[in-house]
Chain A
Amino acid sequence: MKESIHTIMDELIAKYLLQEATAIEIAQVDDWVAESNTNKKAFENFKFLWDESKKITATNTVDENIAWQNFKNKLNAQKHETKVISIKKYTWMRAAAAVLVLAVGGWFLKNSFTKEDVGKQMLVQTKKNVLIDTLPDNSVVTLNKNSSIEYYSKFTTGSQRNIKLKGEAFFSVTPNKEKPFIIKVNDVEVRVVGTSFNIKTINGQTEVIVKTGIVQVTRNGKTVLLTPQQKILTKADNNELAKETTKDKLFDYYETKEFVCEETPLWRLVEVLNVAYDSEIIIGRKNLRNLSITTTFANEPLDNILHIIATTFQLQIIKKEGQIILQ
């Protein structure tokens, strides 16, 4: 190129224009400019561009405090370049609904049918909301808060219906004996043909409770079959898969939109209410923890529920710094 100039000269001119050059460097540039008309023109071009470029300086009126608020709103409503599927908001969960459905290119479910077209990888994620998602096989998943499932959009084409779960979800699986429905959660595999059940993970432990049908749970080579009202809870430090019978009917509250208590201890109800309403209810006295409740709370404001509890057990409700103390 005829206009090409030595790299070092460009750097010197830049320093010259930015007043970063030493006295010697300034003299060097001046000499070089005086040397020829071409040099002079090149220098003028540089200077012109440098001066003109200032004109595109952005003037922004943004207030960083407002921007920060916007950011926090965005975090709460984690919608992020995504395809959003229908959300059913519960009135008792006023928290902003947040869904994240990402179609990602990679593969991470280990499929035995990787060569077939399994479609797009789907990620359905909840933050502060409960979400109902209908899968391609018409099975219905109710995802509790802070949970996610991953599957392929054409997962019915294979010999199995594979899905991956984090957090907690209630599954109502469409029967299909040809294609078992397999959920991978932590180190556990849950295999069903067509039933409904709840899976919850807490600190790497996995809890499975069956509502209808039969569910097969496998972990580290061991397998158990669970029937309704039975549950297992895996433990990190041992390999046992111990079945328990559970009277708890609260576990699927976020799916049924009802809090069904049948001789439910108060601590358990409080635990569930705290998750459902993002509240911090505390039982003020130890001897109140095991008070037993038999009732059903429908979709209603937390204050109503607390009022009924308080009246039933003749307790006081004290609200202090975001906490609600029952005593």
Chain B
Amino acid sequence: MELNNTHFIELLTKRDESAFEKVFKDNFKKLQSYAITMVSDENVAEEMVQNVFFKLWDRSEKINIQSSIEAYLYRAVYNESCNYLKHQKVKQGFLNYSKHVMSDISTEKASKKVMLTELEERIKNALNDLPEQCRTVFQLSRFEELKYQQIADTLGISIKTVEAQMGKALRIMRMKLVDYLPLVFLFLNIVK
């Protein structure tokens, strides 16, 4: 049975476990992937998604879902992960620092690898700085490979909004990485 949103939200306020289980199982993997791209740790990511569902169940009478349940879940995972990252920031700063030190003493061959990992790290950080809707649209497009129309349907927004958010996502990413990109091109060419 396909659960539509209003129906699900109604069942949720009644704490219907089978409806909840369906939504949980249908979305868990996708939401966890989303969290992994944000927090870079599978276990932490699972915890983020578990927390989101836990809160949804725990406060089901009070939760106000206006768009779609998916839009709600993606937003909640984004917020949960952002909060986690905020708390981890000091620690992460230290890890990034030690990675830089490492790359200085590595050989050229190894440093390509570090470079790419660092690029990925930078892309990830740039993505994490995107506002929620922008980030979620990017997630559905790039990682879940949904078409614009499917993204619009999933999140209950217009296709025009999807276009705008994707343009914005790429623009912000490029702005954040623009000074770094020539360096990457240079490196790749040398190693080739």
Interface residues of A (CB under 8 A from B): 1, 3, 5, 7-8, 10-15, 17-18, 20, 42, 45-46, 48-50, 52-58, 60-62, 64-65, 67-68, 70-71, 74-75, 80
Q: Is the CB of A57 within 8 A of B33?
A: yes
Contacts of B116 in A (CB 8 A): 55
Question: Does the CB pair A70–B50 fall under 8 Å?
Answer: yes
Asked if residues A64 and B28 are in contact (CB atoms below 8 Å), the reply is yes
CA distance A55 to B24 in the complex (A): 27
How many A-B pairs fall under 8 Å by CB?
120
What CA separation (Å) do A58 and B49 show in the bound complex? Answer: 14
A67/B28 in contact, CB under 8 A? yes
Q: Which of A8, A11, A13, A53 has the most CB of B within 10 A?
A: A53
A3-B178, A56-B37, A62-B29 as given contacts; A20 in contact with B42, CB under 8 Å: no
Q: Tell yes or no: B124 within 8 A of A by CB.
A: yes
Known contacts A8-B167, A57-B143, A67-B24; 11 additional CB pairs below 8 A are A7-B167, A18-B148, A42-B174, A52-B119, A52-B123, A56-B37, A56-B120, A56-B123, A67-B32, A71-B24, A71-B53
Interfacial chain B residues near A70, Cβ < 8 Å: 46, 50
The 10 A-B residue pairs with the shortest CB-CB distance in the complex, in nearest-first order: A11-B167, A58-B36, A10-B167, A14-B166, A58-B33, A64-B25, A64-B28, A10-B171, A14-B167, A67-B28
Are B173 and A53 touching (Cβ within 8 A)? yes
**What are 10 contact pairs spanning A and B, CB under 8 A?**
A11-B166, A49-B123, A53-B123, A55-B120, A56-B127, A57-B33, A64-B28, A67-B46, A68-B28, A70-B46
CB pair A5 B25 closer than 8 Å: no
A3 pairs with B33, CB closer than 8 A: no
B residues less than 8 Å from A18 (CB atoms)? 141, 148, 166
User: Are A75's CB and B57's CB within 8 A?
Assistant: yes
- From B29, B166, B173, B178, A60 is in contact (CB under 8 Å) with B29
Residues of B with C-beta under 8 A to A42: 174
Complex: A211 Cα to B168 Cα, angstroms: 68
Q: Is B177 an interface residue (CB 8 A)?
A: yes
- Bound state CA distance, A310 and B38, in angstroms? 60
> When the two chains form their complex, are residues A62 and B54 in contact, meaning their CB atoms are under 8 A apart?
no
Whether A60 contacts B42 by the Cβ 8 Å rule is yes
Asked if B181 contacts A11 (CB within 8 A), the reply is no
Q: Is B147 an interface residue (CB 8 A)?
A: yes
Q: Which residue of A lies closest to B188 (CB)?
A: A48
- Which residue of A is nearest B35, CB measured? A58
Q: Tell me if B178 and A45 are in contact (CB < 8 A).
A: yes
0/1 interface trace, chain B 144-168, chain A, CB 8 Å (1 if under): 0001100000000000000110111
A residues less than 8 Å from B148 (CB atoms): 15, 18, 20
The residue of chain A having its C-beta at the shortest distance from the C-beta of B28 within the complex is A64
Cβ–Cβ < 8 Å partners of B166 in chain A = 11, 14-15, 18
Q: Enumerate chain B residues within 8 angstroms of A61, measured Cβ to Cβ.
A: 42
A7 and B50 CA atoms in complex are apart in Å by 37
Contact, CB under 8 Å: A58 / B163:
no
Q: Which residues of B contact A11 (CB under 8 A)?
A: 163-164, 166-167
Q: Determine the residue in chain B with the shortest Cβ distance to A62.
A: B32
Tell me the bound Cα distance from A149 to B178 in angstroms.
55
Distance between A71 CB and nearest chain B CB, rounded to angstroms = 6
CA distance A53 to B128 in the complex (A): 12
CB distance from A197 to the nearest CB of B (A): 31
Q: Are A13 and B170 in contact (CB under 8 A)?
A: yes
- B100 CB, min distance to chain A CBs, angstroms: 20
**Please, which residues of chain A bring their CB within 8 A of the CB of B185?**
48
Contact B147 A20 (CB under 8 A): yes
Complex partner residue of A68 from B25, B123, B168, B175, CB under 8 angstroms = B25
Q: Residue on B with the closest CB to A18?
A: B141
* Chain A residues positioned under 8 Å from B50 (CB to CB): 67, 70-71, 74
Question: Does B142 lie at the interface of the complex (its beta carbon under 8 Å from any beta carbon of A)?
Answer: yes
Q: Which residue of B lies closest to A42 (CB)?
A: B174
A49–B174 CB distance below 8 A: yes
Pair A56/B124 contact, Cβ less than 8 Å: yes
Residues of A contacting B167 in the complex (Cβ-Cβ under 8 angstroms): 7-8, 10-14
CA distance A54 to B184 in the complex (A): 17
Does B2 touch A at the CB level, under 8 Å? Answer: no
Residues of B16-64 contacting chain A, CB below 8 A: 21, 24-25, 28-29, 32-34, 36-37, 42, 45-46, 49-50, 53-54, 57
- Are A3 and B25 in touch, CB under 8 angstroms? no
The answer to whether A58 touches B46 (Cβ under 8 A) is no
Contacts of A50 in B (CB 8 A): 142, 170
- Across the interface, which residues of A come within 8 angstroms of B21, CB to CB? 68
